Structure 1
Amino acid sequence: MPIVSLIARERKQNKPQQNTPFASQILPMFAIILATLWIRAFIHQVSFYMKEIRNMASYIEGTLIKGEKLVYVGNISLWTLAPLLLLGFVLLIAYGLGVIVFLIAYIKYKTTELAFTNKRVVAKFGFISRRTMEINITKVESIQVHQNIMGRIFNYGSLVITGSGESQAPIVGISNPMEFRRAFMEAQDMAQKDQ
């Protein structure tokens, strides 16, 4: 047999089989449609929870009683969320999972509330599981401020509010803790003069 016919016969034998339209065109389109539907459902769920958080009335504003006014509202410092934000950035680049970590940091930032009114000190932590602390402003004996070196540099720290001889759990990561304490002391003096 001539070599040319052997090569032609070998090419016919090694020729790949023609894929059916189902396998080559419909399956990838089906996979793209499923992925799109899953992503849309995920985005819808995330946007629902973000809307709930955004539209959710402040716990503190919702618990004000007649004649009570907000005097000072403290915020959690973004510097205390820096490890979460850094992890979110790394995971976003590496795996795309950073969005979830950013969402956790956002929820922690938005659902931690600390304020005092002309009548009491109120702190609230958590979104689904909620922990609150409320102390009458005249019953607070002291506010301790704890700041490490980074806290001093970036102006954040922990507050420990002691009321009626009972020490409360520290409120960690509050921005401007010294300003919070100063404003509280002034409000407490005003409340004691009014009594």
Structure 2
Amino acid sequence: MTDSGAGGSGDKKDTEPLETPSPRAPSDGPAPGAESPTREFQFPPGVAAPGPPAAAANDIDGVRFDDSPAGGLLSGVRAPAVPDVPSPISARYLFPTEKYRGEWRRHWVHLMPWYIIGTLSTFIMGLASGMLTKWDNENRDTALSVTVIVWLLILGFVGWKILDWYMDRFILTNKRIMLIQGVITRSVAMMPLGRVTDMKYSQTPMGRMLNYGEFIIESAGQDQALRNVPHLPNPNELYLQMCEEMYEPEAVDERMAEPEEDLIPEEAPAVPAKSDGT
């Protein structure tokens, strides 16, 4: 008997070659463990398959999509649209050949100091009136009348500031930006977009919470009629719109010319009821 080592050869045995397994024919029956084969449901003749659910109108209200390759910086979901027609306050300052892009009033925080003055004056007037009614002095009625008159004058001045805020407009067209101020004495500051050399906006922590900012616009001229514009609402959207107007005016014109795409599909026709033959 001969032992074979690690590299030696042992006794030779005759082995039969293994047969290649034949492929199994596909079966129409269910797979093992499955209760029934998977089949596609067929609708009866004359009944149309239901389509995808229609999007709710309130879910896409105010949303507009732009799939054009020249959509500009504001492609995709857009910011709330501005009025297509200028207000009577700003229409008188536009000439026929320029294209109106929008107008904005200052943020309501611009009136915050006057709100505080009106509230404090009302509180002080009430406190002073209560103290004056306790006086046993012949000048009490006069002092009370003077207090009320001063309070009414302060409220009238606050109302004037609110009217001034309402009349002010920041206007953007395809050729220039304008700032209109004043009620009786009007001031109209204008700067062509072609002369804007630098523009930025800044937001304080309060401005970021309430969504307002201050715009600082630089031009090539020495004397600038329009430079600092504080308390403008939605500064980021306004900044992008102004930049697009300066650098991609063709894209803006193309987008304005396109009609809005209808995102709500028409209602599907009613499915007729199946007759049972009786």
User: Structure 1-normalised TM-score?
Assistant: 0.61
Q: CA deviation at 1:182?
A: 0.9
- 1:140–1:163 CA contact under 8 A, matched in 2: yes
Aligned partner of 1:189 in structure 2 is 247
Aligned partner of 1:177 in structure 2 is 235
Between the aligned partners of 2:160 and 2:102, the Cα distance in structure 1 is 26
Please identify which structure carries the higher strand content: 1
Q: How is 1:52-91 mapped onto 2 (pairs within 5 angstroms)?
A: 57-58=88-89, 60-91=90-121
Aligned partner of 1:131 in structure 2 is 187
- 2:111–2:162 CA contact under 8 A, matched in 1: no
- 1:114–1:124 CA contact under 8 A, matched in 2: yes
User: Structure 2-normalised TM-score?
Assistant: 0.44
Letter in 2 for 1:175: P
Letter in 2 for 1:68: E
Q: CA deviation at 1:152?
A: 1.6
Between the aligned partners of 1:69 and 1:92, the Cα distance in structure 2 is 46
Aligned partner of 1:140 in structure 2 is 196
Aligned partner of 2:175 in structure 1 is 119
Between the aligned partners of 1:169 and 1:185, the Cα distance in structure 2 is 16
- CA-to-partner distance for each residue in 1:152-174, whole Å, 9 max, x for gaps? 22111211112225554311221
Report sequence identity in percent. 21
Letter in 2 for 1:133: A
Q: CA deviation at 1:80?
A: 2.1
Letter in 1 for 2:200: Q
Q: CA deviation at 1:175?
A: 1.5
Q: CA deviation at 1:84?
A: 0.8
- 2:218–2:227 CA contact under 8 A, matched in 1: no
- CA-to-partner distance for each residue in 1:20-73, whole Å, 9 max, x for gaps? xxxxxxxxxxxxxxxxxxxxxxxxxxxxxxxxxxxx931x31111122222121
- CA-to-partner distance for each residue in 1:112-134, whole Å, 9 max, x for gaps? 21011111111112223333221
Between the aligned partners of 1:165 and 1:148, the Cα distance in structure 2 is 28
Give the CA RMSD over aligned residues.
2.5
Q: How is 1:94-105 mapped onto 2 (pairs within 5 angstroms)?
A: 94-95=124-125, 96-97=151-152, 98-105=154-161
Please identify which structure carries the higher helix content: 1
Letter in 2 for 1:124: I
Unaligned runs of 5+ in 1: 1-55
Aligned partner of 1:106 in structure 2 is 162
Q: CA deviation at 1:140?
A: 1.7
Unaligned runs of 5+ in 2: 1-86, 126-150, 254-278
Letter in 2 for 1:100: G
